[in-house]
Structure formats: structure tokens, C-alpha cells
Structure 1
Amino acid sequence: MTTAGDELALLINPSAGRGRGARAGRRAAHRLAEAGLTVRTLAGRDVREAADLARESVEDGVRALVVVGGDGMVHLGLQAVAGSGTPFGVIPAGTGNDFARALGLPLRDPDAAADIVAAGALREVDLGRTDGQWFAGVVAAGFDAKVNDRVNRMRWPKGPRRYDLATFAELGVFTPIPYHLELDGEVLDLDAMLIAVGNIASYGGGLRITPGAELDDGLFDVVVVAPVSRATLVRAFRRVKHGTHTVYPFVTVHRARQVKLDAPGITAYVDGERLGPLPRTFDVVPRAQQVYAPAAGLP
């Protein structure tokens, strides 16, 4: 007789990656079953149902929770597993996949990602925590967050073009933001174009905004971009893909275990999700979660 402890819960976001999630989920379920694992396949009709299914499966005592989707599904799954002792896995199938990228997972091959889960190698990684929510990635809280706000108000066009148009529109009206920043108790009051708080190196599908951030060092990397002209900001962002923007003198990098951040009119985003308005306190929880990762990437 199969018990919950024998089952691996596979939570699928069917709409992830404009439909890639459903296809990736089917392939991953088949591959895991071929490896001899008992798979409990779950698919929520909406975010709330998916969150309930994740939580219920962990409470039921499944051997692991594996999500199929992007960073939003990672965020959802972490709310269920973090602190429970249940291992966590990711089959990348979203548009960003930054947490999967940080783990060194194959981003376009669900079979290979499922093989990593089946192999069973686990890595302990840090997570962030704010107001009771867990997160894995980079907190956006500046120009980047304003672009997200604008994207969420737009109904056209669909896809990446919406972000391009929102970025250009925001550039036309954006002014530096007055921040109150505390890094492990050190107080900084400053104007900046953005402040990013990173548990991993990238957000937005490989934009390496906090390029030195590591998943297991017990610290956030905090990148501050000082006030510059719009043209200079555009030039800097062209280098973010490669993480080389930190060479500019107007970009500074700090490291801290706790970050307190406040600014008027700024909504914070993380893992592709809206967190809510500042002020907020962000804490690193070292080695908070066991995740399936390539064995070669383990210490």
C-alpha cells in the first residue's frame, strides 16, 4: 500500500511559460515514474487552489514537493515547504526561471530536470523572509519596481514587448527615490534610482542585478544605483545581463543579514510576485531549505 511518505508531490502551473508548464509537467511526471518514484500530480485552477494543494501535500507528509513552472511557482511552493523539513524541487517551465538558473538546473529540458530530482542530491540554500513570507530571489524596489507597476496596469501588448514599452514610458517620468536603508543596523538615508536586495544573482530572466549573490553564504547582496541621467541608466542596464554594471562608480554593493528599506510610493516585488508597499524588513535565513540540485554543484 502506498502512503503519503512514499509519494512525491508534483505541482504544475499549466499556464507557466505560455503553456510550457502543462507540457513540462507531463514529461516530468512520466520521467519520475520511469525512475521508480510514486508521483502525486497536482494542478490548481488558480493561485489560491495551487497554494492549498501545496500546503496540504506537505502536511500530508509527502517525501518531497516539486513545482513545475517559473519563479512565481517557486515562491508559492516555498510558502508550503520552508521550515517543514520537506525537500523541494523545481522543473523550470516559466519565463524567468531565475531560482532554477541559480541552482544550475537545465532550463529547457524537463526530462533532465526530473532526472536531477530522481537522483536525489540535495543542497541546503538560504532563503529570505519578510512579514512572514519566504522568498528565494531578488527584491526589486526602485525603477525596476516602477516598471513592474506600469506593466501590471497595461493590457496591451502581450509578452516581452509590454516590458519594453513600460520601461521606456517609465524612463520618461522617473526621478530619483529618497530611501531610508538599514544594513544590519547601519543607517543610510540616500537618493537612488533603485535598490535591489539579492539572495541570488539574477531576476527578470537572467538579469544579473546582484551578480555576487550566492545561495549559501548567509548574506544578501544589496545593490544601490545612485542618481544618474536617464541615458546613463539605460547604458548601465545594458550591462546588467552580464553583471558588469557594478564597475560603474555610481553603483555600490553592500552585504548584510538584515535589510530594512523604506521609500515613499514604492511597491516591492520578488520572485516575480508583488510583495506590497515599503517599509519592509528582509532577513536572511541561512540554509533554510533543502533543494534538489545537480550533484556537481554541491559543495
Structure 2
Amino acid sequence: MTAPVDESHNGFALRWARLAWILLAAALVVPIVVAGLRGAVLFTVTSIAAVVVAVVAVYGFLTWRGLLRLAALVSALCAPIVVLVVIVRERELWVIPLEAALVIAAFGSARAALRIRSSESTMPEYPAETVHRPFLVMNPHSGGGKVVRFDLRRRAEELGAEVVMLEGPEFVDVQALARRAVARGADLLGVAGGDGTQALVAGVAAEHGIPFLVISAGTRNHFALDLGLDREDPVAGLEALRDGVELHVDLGNIDGRPFVNNASFGVYAEIVESPQYRDDKAKTVLDLLPDLLDTSAHAGLRARIDGTVLDGPRALLVSNNPYTTDDLVGMGRRLRLDRGRLGVIALSMHGAGQIVGVLRRARTRGLVQRTAAEVVVFSDEHDIAVGVDGESVRMPSPVRCTVVPGALRVLVPRDRPGMRIPRPVLDWVQLSRLARATTRR
């Protein structure tokens, strides 16, 4: 059964998606029709061979390392050139600009279908109450020393904030710090640091119903990004104390521990555990992809997503609101943080073709991507390794993930960059779903 689409909201996406597939089909058929029988056979054989080489090369790029990975990349880039050579040899040069026009039009239609409207990424703003006793936790080691580099402590204290620095090698219970501050009368809690620390203090702010301030002094600060803050200017976050508005966002919960971004299991958790993860997340994911694609290993996980049971996922990501459909590693964007739903991405892949198809977003077998109110994760072992907002922890099985809608009042500057709508990514799975959908009025 095809899913219905609201004509007034998504009907335009359906029409563009169907046009994209029609143009792509035309791009495949036209060379065969115009080249004649001899050309058709040659073109077909060459095209099939080129596709096989490209798929194997892409798989090799994802699974191999070193010179083999470089060779695979070169092969993947050269495969389509062979097809062009055949067209030139048959002296049907006029087919090339026609093909280019069809492909460009198809890609343009696909991007139009997948384009995100501003209304889909705009969270409502609420008037902010006057803050009298803000309390801020700052980590001077986070983000390569942004707290010191931007002189955040002095700037915050000039605005009337009490600041505690997380200095020294010993462990500091930031939640206990925040609760003591609230007991002394603090009417706002804030953090200049990474997302893991942000989440712990945010949980205390949500408990007491007071505003929470995000200062983007961490390495990545994905939470700040999805709030529309400028991650390169942590000083701008302090401006919320002068002239701010509130966003009421959801807060994830994993067995009593709050999270603002995501909780990861299986290979995802192994990626978070990597020492290189904090310095270069994208490179770490690429380096560990061969382990993800090693289907001989078994993660020993099971997940109950609302009422549906999923057996044996190699990797599982549960997020506070869903990531965009093309983001399979939770390093991209969430359009909104106030939908009251968990995002779920699970990978259970078997075979090279299936793996490459999922990672290229050309197929869905082995991929579960949905929203849920509750996710319960079971393990064959007593404990489960979990990456919670980039922090590696172990929790007893089973682990229960939920989301609390509108639990967190986040104070943000009135004047801020806002959510930058990402350019549409050619997600062929999503495009196929759109094209098969029906409309309703």
C-alpha cells in the first residue's frame, strides 16, 4: 500500500519525484533507441559491466584501506567513462548532450522533490523570563580551549552569572553541581562545553523547570547547531542573557540519563569509543566502516521499537528527534527538536550489494529508519556498550530509551543565525517513496 501525501503540503514533492524517475528512465532508454540494434547490444553490455565495476569499486572503497581503497575510488570514477567511449565509437555524439540534459533535469527534479521547506525546520519562540541568578558550568579543555580563548568566564560574570570551571583531572559530578546551584536560588543553568556535559545539566534544568543556556564551546556541538546557534562564536550564546527568547525542546532519556542528541549501540557505540572520534568524527566513521561491514561478526543486540521487534542489528542509533533521511550515522542535522518522537536508525546488512545499496541510499533492505515513542535494547551480554551524546558508557541490559516532549526550556539569543536549511541530498530511497505515494486533499 502506498502512503497518502497531503496535496497542499507535499503534493509538489510527489510530482517532482515522479518527473525525476521519468527523466531517468528516458536517459536509459534514449541511447538504446537511437543507436540501433548493434549499438544497443554493445551499449547494454558495456553499461552492465560498468555498473558491476562501479558497485564492486564502491564496496572496495568502503571496506578496504590504503592503496586498495585508492584503486577502488579510481575504478569507480572510470567506469562511467567507458560508457561514453562506446557512444563516441558509434559516432552518435549528439546523444551525449541529450543524455546530459536528461540527467541534469532528472537531478534538478529530484532536488526539488527533496527540498526542505522553511516551515519544516522552524520551531516556535516563546518570551523569555528575566533571569536574576544564572549559573554556568564551563569546561576549559573542551573544544580545544574555547572557554579561555574567547574569555567566556569574564564575559559571563560581567553579565551576573556564577561560573564554575571544570579544572583538574578528578571527576566532577556536574549534575550535583547544578542541583546545589538550584538549591541556592539559581534560576538558569548553562554549560560551555561538549554535548555530553550539556545533556547532564540540561536534565537538571528540566527537572526544576528553569531555562537552560547553551554556549557552543565544545568540539562539535551538534545540539547548538540544531538550535540555530553559531558554533564558531560561543560569545554570541551569552547574548541570550541580555536579549533572549525560549525554545521548548524535547529531551531524550536512556535509563534515567538525559541525552540531547543520540544514544548509539553496536558498531555505532564502537565508533564513539574510538580515541580518534572526538578529533575527526567523519574520518573515524570511514576508518571503522570495514568493521561495520564485517557481517561475520554478531552484535548480539535486539531492539523493540514501540511494538516491533528487530533482531540482530549491527548498529543502532536512537536520537532525540529524527535526523534527516540521508544521515545514517547521526552526524548531520535534525530539522526540529520539538516533535516529541525518537528517531531510530538500525543497520542489519548481509552481503556486499545490500551494504553498498544502503550506504548509497539506493535501497532499504537491511535498513530500518523510523520514529518511535520508545525503544528498548536487549543484549546477549549483561552490559551494553552505549555512546550517549559522544560519551562512552556501559549500561545493564535491557536499556530503555524514551523522549519527554517539550521538557527543556532553552534560552537562545534573539539574534542568531537560525536553522540553515541543508541543501537536498539525492536520497533515492526517499525519492522512490515519494513517487509511489498517493495524494489526499
TM-score tier by shorter-chain length is: 0.7 to 0.9
**Structure 2, unaligned runs of 5 or more:** 1-130, 420-441
1:280 to 399, 402, 419: 399
SS at match of 1:89: strand
C-alpha displacement of 1:252: 2.5
SS at match of 1:287: strand
C-alpha displacement of 1:20: 1.8
Partner of 2:261: 137
Q: Is the 8 A contact 1:176 1:193 kept in 2?
A: yes
Cα distance 1:194–1:12, how it changes in 2: closer, same or farther (>3 A)?
same
Q: Is the 8 A contact 2:299 2:314 kept in 1?
A: yes
Partner of 2:91: none
| Structure with the higher helix share, 1 or 2 | 2
Whole-angstrom CA distance in 1 between matches of 2:399 and 2:277 = 32
Percent sequence identity over aligned pairs: 26
Q: Is the 8 A contact 2:358 2:367 kept in 1?
A: no
Partner of 2:280: 160
C-alpha displacement of 1:10: 1.9
- Please tell me whether residue 226 in structure 1 is matched to residue 345 in structure 2: no
SS at match of 1:254: strand
Whole-angstrom CA distance in 2 between matches of 1:28 and 1:232 = 51
**Structure 1, unaligned runs of 5 or more:** 240-244
Whole-angstrom CA distance in 2 between matches of 1:255 and 1:196 = 11
Q: Max radius of gyration: which structure?
A: 2
- Please tell me whether residue 21 in structure 1 is matched to residue 142 in structure 2: no
- Please tell me whether residue 12 in structure 1 is matched to residue 155 in structure 2: no
C-alpha displacement of 1:81: 1.8
TM-score normalised over the length of structure 2: 0.55
- Please tell me whether residue 67 in structure 1 is matched to residue 191 in structure 2: yes
Query: Residue 21 of structure 1 aligns to which amino acid in structure 2?
Result: V
Per-residue CA distance 1:67-103 (angstroms, 9 max, x = gap):
1012122023124322111210111111120111111
1:261 to 373, 377, 384: 377
C-alpha displacement of 1:173: 5.5
C-alpha displacement of 1:171: 4.7
Partner of 1:242: none
Q: What is the RMSD of the two structures over their aligned residues, measured on CA atoms?
A: 3.5
Query: Residue 261 of structure 1 aligns to which amino acid in structure 2?
Result: V
Per-residue CA distance 1:257-298 (angstroms, 9 max, x = gap):
111111335411111123423420111111111001354869
TM-score normalised over the length of structure 1: 0.78
After TM superposition, list the pairs within 5 Å mapping 1:205-216 onto structure 2: 208=330, 214-216=336-338
Q: Is the 8 A contact 1:198 1:210 kept in 2?
A: no
Query: Residue 280 of structure 2 aligns to which amino acid in structure 1?
Result: P
Partner of 1:187: 308
Q: Is the 8 A contact 1:257 1:283 kept in 2?
A: yes
Cα distance 1:106–1:235, how it changes in 2: closer, same or farther (>3 A)?
farther
Whole-angstrom CA distance in 2 between matches of 1:62 and 1:158 = 32
Q: How many residues align?
A: 278
